[in-house]
Amino acid sequence: MDALITVLPGDGIGPEVTKSGVRVLQRIAEAFGHHFDFSTQLIGGAAIDACNHPLPADTIASCHESDAVLLGAVGGPKWSDPNAPMRPEQGLLGIRAELGVFANLRPVRVIDELAKASPLKAELLTGVDLMVVRELTGGIYFGEKKRDTDSASDLCIYHTFEVERIVRVAARIARERKRKLCSVDKANVLETSRLWRDVATRIVSQEFPDVALEHMLVDAAAMHLLARPREFDVIVTENMFGDILTDEASMLAGSLGMLPSASLGESKRGLYEPIHGSAPDIAGRNIANPCGTIASVALLLRHSLGLEAEAALVETALLQVISNGARTADIARGNDPVLSTSAMTAKVVEQIR
Ligand code: IPM
Ligand code: MG
């Protein structure tokens, strides 16, 4: 098949990990006789430097013309002056909104061999396989922001339709899994959460009677994720809770560098990015973990290009390489030899036959 993929390297380690993702896509194209065209565009701090805007019009246009978008990360100390008129993160939030990708899928699967890389007890981790469905284009991230001399506010607003559509996505995913859906909110305090809870209850009971719905307060969810992570199947939650809970959940998988994400809307076009940030402290040193990006590439093949066999092959290759002992610095322990970003990528590429 022919496909056009926009690549948005962004800042920090973004260019290094997206390069790994592109190498894997090229290998897949070669192995299966596909033709992938790549259009690399600016976003974030790199775009502010080059054209004084975190999300240039050319970037938006290229994304709209593409079948899928692969993004690295944005942000860094260079652009984090709180008084700066523009921030790199506006580029990321802007492209999510622009593409209407309201459903952010963040699968968390523990690879047995990595359980000991986690700061948590290995016996709690084997068999963990959960999916966080994070609402991505609403809530406190996108509400009106105000700043006065002595006060500031961020509006958190959710509309019924936004909750309905994200709950539907999560319930459909639950149906393909263990049919357990946990909706996470703060309904004891927040009005938006009370709306969220009502809508989730209605949608699941009317449209997904075969899915077991449980409601959980976000503070309790944060605790249960560490205490009994195996019991979760699908979690659905609002934008900010999903952001926080998935950084927490990444520790189950051994490292923030392992987790991929797929952001989807009404069409097949999706935005794919590792859940980690730009990690400016290790940028440009070829030591970042490319696994989250490579796993995101698998999600891209599956969800935007409909190439299930290719997606599964990338996931198997990644698993195989890790099982064989390949480790980047973040997941190495004791005497494990440490691989660079490019060496880890090469191992995965070699494994794809
Ligand atoms: C993420 C990131 C972003 C977010 C930041 C960089 C704006 O933390 O994708 O999880 O909060 O959504
Ligand atoms: Mg985050």
Is the pLDDT at 53 greater than 90, yes or no? yes
What is the CA(73)–ligand 1 centre distance, in A? 9
Ligand index nearest the alpha carbon of residue 274: 1
* Ligand 2 ion: residues within 5 Å (CB): 243
Q: Which helix (H) or strand (E) holds 213?
A: strand 212-217
Cα-flanking dihedrals φ and ψ of residue 105, to 5°?
A: -95, 125
Select the highest-mean-pLDDT range: 54-58, 81-85, 109-113, 251-255.
Answer: 54-58
**Test site for ligand 1: of 8, 79, 92, 296, most ligand atoms within 8 A of the Cβ:** 92
> Which residues does ligand 1 sit against, CB inside 6 Å?
75, 89, 92, 243, 275, 277
In terms of pTM, does the model score above 0.85?
yes
Protein residue with least CA distance to atom 12, ligand 1 = 243
Is the pLDDT at 338 greater than 90, yes or no? yes
Find out whether 15 and 9 touch, Cβ atoms under 8 Å.
yes
What is the CA 69 to chain-centroid distance, rounded? Answer: 13
Question: Would residue 37 show up in a list of annotated catalytic residues for this protein?
Answer: no
Percent of the chain's residues with pLDDT above 90: 96
CA angle 188, 225, 222 (to 5 degrees): 35
Please give the number of the atom of ligand 1 that sits closest to the Cα of 246.
10
Instruction: Give the residue carrying structure tokens 């690399």.
Output: 40
Ligand index nearest the alpha carbon of residue 104: 1
DSSP 228-252: -GGG--EEEE-HHHHHHHHHHHHTT
The reported pLDDT for the residue numbered 117 is 84
In the structure, how many helices (H) and strands (E) does the chain have? 12, 12
What is the CA(72)–ligand 2 centre distance, in A? 13
Largest Cα–Cα separation, the chain: 61
Please list the residues that pair with 106 across neighbouring strands: 132
Find out whether 272 and 7 touch, Cβ atoms under 8 Å.
no
Question: Would residue 272 show up in a list of annotated catalytic residues for this protein?
Answer: no
- Amino acid residing at 268: K
Q: Please, what are the domains in the chain?
A: 1-102+264-353 (3.40.718.10), 119-253 (3.40.718.10)
Find out whether 74 and 80 touch, Cβ atoms under 8 Å.
no
Protein residue with least CA distance to atom 5, ligand 1 = 89
The reported pLDDT for the residue numbered 116 is 83
Please give the number of the atom of ligand 1 that sits closest to the Cα of 89.
7
CA angle 72, 77, 82 (to 5 degrees): 110
Kindly state the tokens that stand for 307. 């190439």
CA distances from residue 253 to 43, 114, 187 in whole angstroms, order as listed: 28, 7, 29
Mean pLDDT, residues 91-112 taken together? 97
Question: Would residue 186 show up in a list of annotated catalytic residues for this protein?
Answer: yes
180 burial class (0-12, 13-18, 19+ CB within 10 angstroms)? Answer: middle
280 burial class (0-12, 13-18, 19+ CB within 10 angstroms)? Answer: middle
pLDDT digits (tens, 9 = 90+) for 273-312: 999 999 999 999 999 999 999 999 999 999 999 999 999 9
